Structure formats: C-alpha cells, structure tokens
Amino acid sequence: MIASQFKRRMLLCVLAAVLVWIPVRAGAVSPGQFVENFYVWYLSGLGSPSRDFMKPHTPLDRYVTTALLRKLRYAEAHSGPTGPDADYFMQAQNLDEAFQTRHVPGWRARITATALRSWNNTATVNVFFKGVHFDHALQVHIVRVSGEWRIDSVNALGR
C-alpha cells in the first residue's frame, strides 16, 4: 500500500513538472525568430538621432552578448571622428540608401531568417534582406545566455 501511494505521488510530481515545463518551452523564441525580431527592431530605428547604441543600458543590451558589446564599444571609442566605417549588424556601408524600404509598407516581410544549425546553447542563422534595389545576406551566430538568445557575431554572406 505504501509503495502504491509512493508511485502515485511520483507520477503526480512528474506530471506536474511536465505541465509546468511545456508552456515555458512553448513560449521560447526560436533562433530564426529571435534574429528576425532583432533586425525588425534594429532597422526600425536606423537614422534616429536619439538611438545611441554605444551608451550603456540601451535596448541593444537585450539582443547582444556582453563580449560583443565590449568589442563594439571599443571599436567606437577608437575609430575616427565619423565613427566606424560600416554598420556591424548589417556588414554594410551607406545603409540609408540601401534600406530606404523601411519606410515602405510591408518592408518587414522582406526580412527572412533561417536557422542553419542549432545545438544546445548555440545557433547559426542566415538572414536575408530583399528589396527593389538590394539583395543582402548575413550569417548570425547566437548563443543562449541565462535562457535568452543573444547575438555573438555577424558576418556577411557572399552571394
């Protein structure tokens, strides 16, 4: 009798744990969705004079690893008077010309992100930007930090 009560309690504990775990995992953002969300946010604010990502405690802190932030802030501090030569997250220059489509309805649909590899706490995601006058592709490496995805590096993809 004691053994059956023990089994019943163990079964209830396991069931409760599964019921708690499933909604938490169901709400988790996939690597591809995280990267796509980042670029929608990032491109929405390009050209805004009030957005200074190199200052501490900006929204960028939620998307990027501490190591990458440190690298970007170091590059900013040691660059010329006009700042770095290219936008790190787009791996491109002259973004204002290339990404004017952010002012066109439906521009978000022109961003697609596909996870190539996802293993434990790391993932590699290809992100593609398509427009009338541009076609741009990046490879983004992300890592999970305290349960949340963070961008660790961005590289241009040759096409």
The per-residue pLDDT for range 5-36, each reduced to its tens digit, is: 656 665 444 444 444 443 344 458 999 999 99
In terms of pLDDT, which residue wins out, 76 or 146?
A: 146
CB atoms within 10 A of CB 58: 14
Architecture of domain 30-156: Roll (3.10)
The pTM is what?
Answer: 0.71
Highest mean pLDDT among 52-56, 135-139, 153-157: 153-157
The per-residue pLDDT for range 86-137, each reduced to its tens digit, is: 788 888 776 555 555 555 555 665 788 888 888 889 999 999 987 666 678 9
pLDDT at 63 over 80: yes
List the chain domain ranges. 30-156
CA 151 to each of CA 9, 42, 57, 74, 132: distance values in angstroms, whole numbers, following the listed order: 42, 13, 16, 17, 28
Nearest to 89 by CA among 77, 74, 72: 72
Structure tokens at 74: 């170091």
The per-residue pLDDT for range 141-151, each reduced to its tens digit, is: 999 999 999 99
